[in-house]
Amino acid sequence: MKILVTGGAGYIGSHTSVELLDAGYEIVIADNFSNSKPEVLERIRKVAGKDFDFCECDLCDKEALDKVFDSYDIDAVIHFAGLKAVGESCEKPLEYYRNNLVSTMNLCESMREHGCKKLVFSSSATVYGMNNTAPYTEDMPLSATNPYGWTKFMIEEMLRGVCAADKEWSVALLRYFNPIGAHSSGQLGEDPNGIPNNLFPYIMRVAVGKLPELGVFGDDYDTPDGTGVRDYIHVVDLAKGHLKALEWCSENVGAEPFNLGTGNGSSVLEVLHGFEKACGKTLPYSVKPRRAGDIATSFADCSKAEKQLGWKAELGMEDMCRDGWNFIKNNPNGL
């Protein structure tokens, strides 16, 4: 099978590309490097020990995307490409709506024109909004609290519409919880531009001395230690979920959401202490006010993915911290 991996040079896409190559899939990566670097492609080749084709292409450019489909006989698409920074999406809503929505509409149109109707889409736990209580199940009402989240909400709805109109389409809507960690080779990992917004990349930078201390956003939540609880999932476990979703797409039709998490929550301080253990250092932190828009607790009910995809996360916080440390230690200046 030949798989188009959009956004394959990014954090989750690069790890998934390695898993796909390992499993014997042929892949074509399309990316515009708006949030990644060309160097990643060589690293994927090195880690997987296999070659693949790459198209530098902005998915908002329909003609360029059509050329990709004209050049390769694509059987299915895994669609990672998108902008993902919540804060930035509030400052640049139009850029987020344009990039995430137009790219996905172009992709679906190109797929339809080329008779390709299997799609795995990167959705997010953010679609559960602020009014549900964890553990989240796929049938809960959806909402969003920022433009980024609304793009995921709208794309999910669009893809449900596509599947309702044409019964040959098969779309897995993968709702990721909090992917962290890195490939065990130390060659691939998360490398955000500028000061990280998310907890784990921030801790990694504190651990290598690039940032002075972690700010813990609130210690007065209704959680065991007062800090926010999230469902952190090892990025390699998450990557493997995509292979299971591709198999699901080959055997089913319709649009179906699946939570990909571990089903367990960890607090900010638990992650920090887990990382301290992995790197053998005490990491400085101070408590700051709550971050606007944050909720106390988010974690998944993953029983649907286990039952219907035959997928379950296997790695724990110790593995995530070990592999995250191994990555940042080897790449203190990023990729």
Give the catalytic positions in this structure.
148
**Residue 276 Cβ, how far from ligand UD1 at the closest point, in Å?**
15
116/246 Cα distance (integer angstroms): 13
**Residue 282 Cβ, how far from ligand NAD at the closest point, in Å?**
27
157/269 Cα distance (integer angstroms): 36
For position 103 contacting ligand UD1 by CB under 6 A, the verdict is no
Contacts (CB under 6 A) with ligand UD1, residues 297-326: 298
CA 330 to chain centre: 22
Q: Indicate the pairing of strand 118-124 with strand 76-79.
A: parallel
Residue 334 sits at φ, ψ, to 5 deg, of: 90, -170
Binding residues for ligand UD1, how many (CB under 6 A)?
22
SS3 assignment, position 267: strand
User: In the numeric block, which tokens belong to residue 247?
Assistant: 């198999």
What are the residues binding ligand NAD (CB under 6 A)?
7, 9-13, 31-36, 58-60, 80-84, 99, 103, 122, 124, 176, 178-179
Considering beta carbons, is residue 43 or 152 the nearer one to ligand UD1? Answer: 152
**Are 311 and 248 contacting, i.e. CB atoms less than 8 angstroms apart?**
no
For position 230 contacting ligand UD1 by CB under 6 A, the verdict is yes
**Residue 164 Cβ, how far from ligand NAD at the closest point, in Å?**
23
Considering beta carbons, is residue 58 or 326 the nearer one to ligand NAD? Answer: 58
**Residue 82 Cβ, how far from ligand NAD at the closest point, in Å?**
3
Contacts (CB under 6 A) with ligand UD1, residues 114-133: 124-126
E strands of 181-270, at which residues?
214-217, 229-230, 232-234, 254-260, 266-267
Considering beta carbons, is residue 124 or 170 the nearer one to ligand NAD? Answer: 124
241/247 Cα distance (integer angstroms): 10
* Residue 162 binds: one of ligand UD1, ligand NAD, none (C-beta under 5 to 8 A by kind): none
312 to each of 49, 181, 188, 242, how far by Cα in Å?
Answer: 26, 17, 22, 12
Binding site for ligand UD1 (CB under 6 A): 86, 124-126, 149, 176-178, 197-199, 202, 214-217, 228, 230, 268, 291, 294, 298
